[in-house]
Chains A and B, each alone.
Chain A
Amino acid sequence: MGDLIPLVVNGGSILVFELSHVKRLRDLGIVGILSGTLPKAPQQNVFLGLPLRLSIYEAAWLVNQSLGVLVDGLRYNEQVLNISSLKEETVELQGGVEYVVTEDTYSQVDDEQLAKICRDAEISVDALMVRLFGSVKTRQHLLSAAFNYFRDRDYYLMPGLRFGGDFVAYPGDPLKFHSHLILKVLEQKESFDLLQLVTSGRLATAVKKAWVLVGESSTQRNKQNQKPSLHCFSIEWAGFG
């Protein structure tokens, strides 16, 4: 239990504030999005810093693999506050210059106590799903299944907004690898028009990727909690003529 990474839920977001956790997540193939201002270079948007923001699908995967635990931000921090020790307010850097600093998290917390707090402040994935999307969430379950499907095949996944898909899939860490696939998840009997086929296919090909349609195979699922089996089709713009 002590090894679980606390995934802090604030409102609708899931955040990781500790660098050691970011490292562990990266080794697990969960990259998230660094979303905070980087104090070293605070006036630009190319390099961002902590906190690391995770999608609900990344978090659900971590929870399912017993690697992380979703915790309510306020309850978690209030309890950690009580057992933490305060660090010095200032830090001295090279040359003897003193700086007033803000820590990322409370420090020097006992592992066992932290695990207890995590249990106490835990939120289930389902509860968070309901909070975010309401009770009807077949699409979110399918997105989650698609995420797991590709993560289990060693793809690294990032949010798909940049390329108009649900996810963008990378063959390795996005830090050093170009992505291969733009994933579009379709529900059963969901249709898309030819125009979308052309625009998305062309866009994907123009940025040297394949557009991949992911859907549930037509065989009916017997039980609600059974894993849906997925079918994928990749589409590339041929550009004849």
Chain B
Amino acid sequence: MAENEDVVVLENDTLAEDDVQDWSALNAGVLKIADEALPKREGKFFDQDGSNTQMERLSDARNQMYFALLHIRGHHVKLTLRAVWCPSRMMALVPHAKGSFFKDVGVAHTYKRKKKAQGMWLSPFEVVYLVERGSLVVYLGDDSVETFLENEDLALDYEPLKKLPLSHLYALALALDLDLVDQYETYALLKRLGYLILERKVEVKHEVVPTAKPKASLWERIYLSLTLTATLLFSRLYSALYFGRVHFFSFTLVYQLLRLISTYTPGPQEMSMLPPLDHRYRIMFDVWKPSPGFSKKNPPVPDFQVSVVNVSRVPFPSISVIKAMWGQVKRRPTNVDTSKSSIKPKQSSKFVSKRDERLKRKAERDSKLDPAIRSRNDYLAKKEKLLKGGSTGTQVVLAAVDTGVINFSIFNETEFSLKSDATIADLNCLESRADHGIVWNEKVVPLNKS
């Protein structure tokens, strides 16, 4: 469950009261370029009472907000980072990339004739994000940029170029498509939360793995079907003779009759039948929790895969759309144990995260328990996690945007019968059982509709 608690995006968005914002504390203290401490929330009024006090408090709150908005959008002159927007390429070039932003931002450009310099191409989302937070200044590029890419000059001459304000950059970078600003806002929100994000450039195509299930031999199947029909006939005849009507001998039969949808077991054959994904729901971003070993050239399988829709234009996805979205999900190879992280934690670090503390306390509690109870708890916790968080790891995040307000939903693939091979293996190593599912599964003769 600890993994779920890391999903800050979900916790941010609850049915709680509206955001109670108090901008004043944000402005308190020394004027710093980036102030990380967040102010506490202050109460709001429930209704207008026409009093001066109320009006004063409101005007004070507004002024504090305006003051915070007035703050400069910039960074220390010693760390100056510049970029040039190239309208023909719809990208921005950072001629000399330095600093910590490029871990998940930009595509490296190697100059043909400049050995020592390292350029970086930024996508529209990336350049707007960096400029908006004040970490980059951007100029409107002209032909000199293309020349610079080819020649031997080490520095680009910014003098003749015009510096772009944020408004013009938005117009250049985010105006080509109706949804770009929505997508950018989602990107920026996740970046601000500290996630590592790459844009999904191409659609994922899964190779259809032919089903390799051993089939029962022909004779076996004939025999099975014959015995089934025989028992069915017998039971029908029996109840018809003795009671004149269909009779239920056990609750299971009643449940089976009531069951509208049969339990679902995900498997490779499912993937091949997927409909193509409606373009509006395509997966836009691959998102990772922050990790020190991340490489944007060779990224691991994403922790979240996010699709962005505007609620006023795109309806809530149907089950077939959700399934098609699952078809676009990058998956972990099934034979790799994901629980073992390849990155070793730093030994020297004295910092203990809340999560580590929680885990430590839990381990202490557990050590006092009977081993049998402990293993049973582990089993139940694992099972609950599979049922709630998805048993296959197939998961998409849908970011629904309504004029700047973003709401995240996660669609997991799960199975109530817990019958897929991976799940059975997972659960059997904790507690061996014939059936792990939560679906009542007594073996009885199926009942025909009558």
Contacts and interface: CB of A to CB of B under 8 A. Distances in A.
Contact of A47 (B26, B167, B311): B26
Interface in A78-132: 78, 80-81, 86, 89-91, 93-94, 97-107, 131-132
A227 interface: no
A66 B54 CA distance: 30
Interface stretch (A11-19, A188-196, A214-222): A11-19
A50 interface: yes
A55 B403 contact: yes
Contact of A100 (B129, B132, B137, B182): B137
A152 B349 CA distance: 59
A131 B178 contact: yes
A49 B165 contact: no
Given A11-B180, A93-B72, A175 B62 contact: yes
Contact of A38 (B15, B19, B68, B136): B68
Please tell me the size bucket of the interface on A: 35 or more
Contact of A53 (B21, B54, B168, B404): B404
B33 interface: yes
Interface in B175-191: 175-182, 185, 188-189
Contacts of A229: none
Contacts of B38: 41, 44, 46-47
Contacts of A100: 74-77, 80, 137
A172 B91 CA distance: 43
A49 B46 contact: no
A41 B35 contact: yes
B171 A40 contact: no
B69 A50 contact: yes
A177 B47 contact: yes
Given A17-B166, A99-B72, A77 B44 contact: no
B185 A35 contact: yes
Interface size class of B (residues with CB under 8 A): 35 or more
B335 to A, nearest CB: 38
A176 to B, nearest CB: 4
B23 A37 contact: no
Interface string B382-421: 0000000000000000001111110100000000000000
A207 B168 contact: no
Interface of A: 8-13, 15, 17, 19, 22-23, 26, 32-47, 49-51, 53-55, 73-74, 76-78, 80-81, 86, 89-91, 93-94, 97-107, 131-133, 140, 158-163, 168, 171-180, 203, 206-208
Contacts of A37: 129, 132-133, 188, 192
Interface in B289-339: 310-313
In order of increasing CB-CB distance, the 4 nearest A-B pairs are: A101-B74, A73-B171, A33-B404, A12-B178
Given A100-B137, A105-B165, 11 more contacts: A37-B188, A40-B35, A42-B135, A77-B172, A91-B72, A101-B137, A102-B74, A106-B167, A171-B47, A176-B45, A177-B47
A182 B277 CA distance: 33
A33 B405 contact: yes
Interface string B29-54: 00111111010000011111000001
B312 A47 contact: no
Contact of B134 (A39, A54, A94, A177): A39
A104 B401 CA distance: 24
A22 B23 CA distance: 16
Nearest to A134: B313
B105 interface: no
